[in-house]
Amino acid sequence: MSENSTDISPNPYDDPSIPYVEPPENPLFQKSLEMMKQDKIFRNLNVNLSVISVAGGLIVLSIIAAMWLYEKRLVNRVSLRLAAVISLVDILTGIAVIEYSTYVARDTLKCTFIAWAMSFCPQLYLFLTVMIAFNLQ
């Protein structure tokens, strides 16, 4: 029995006698997809909350500046000056977190700044908060 060359399908998956079976799920790929979704959620959360934090710090600094313009002796208190510096550190931390969330890993000066800010700012924030506590005793 000779077969005509037109009867042979070029695609072996077109054979109706072979039932279609779904390929097995790759658990590593599913886990990678979940991790990518979580990374995107965390990145968006970091950026959005940091923007709110920077805005709050700017509001505090603008209120202190308005107080200084209105009456300079109102701002002449150590605890208020420390609160202003804490707001400044909060702004710097927010900017560093935004840069960290959107950064593509490369060995640059930006990478060094992010690493410095992410390690130094929380320690400075804690130090300034302790100084306010000692000042108010």
At a CB cut-off of 8 Å and minimum separation 6, what does 57 contact?
A: 87, 88, 90, 91, 94
At a CB cut-off of 8 Å and minimum separation 6, what does 50 contact?
A: 93, 94, 95, 97, 98, 101
**Whole-number Å distance between alpha carbons of 89 and 81:** 12
Task: Determine what percent of the chain is predicted with pLDDT higher than 70.
Answer: 88
| Pick from 50-54, 75-79, 125-129: least confident | 75-79
At a CB cut-off of 8 Å and minimum separation 6, what does 79 contact?
A: 132, 135, 136
Task: Tell me the per-residue pLDDT of 90-129, one tens digit each, with 9 for 90 and over.
Answer: 999 999 999 999 888 888 898 899 999 999 999 999 999 9
Domain range annotation of the chain: 30-135
Which residue did the predictor score with more confidence, 54 or 17?
54
Task: Tell me the per-residue pLDDT of 23-39, one tens digit each, with 9 for 90 and over.
Answer: 677 777 777 888 888 99
The angle subtended at Cα 59 by Cα 55 and Cα 65, nearest 5°, is 140
Which amino acid is present at 51?
V
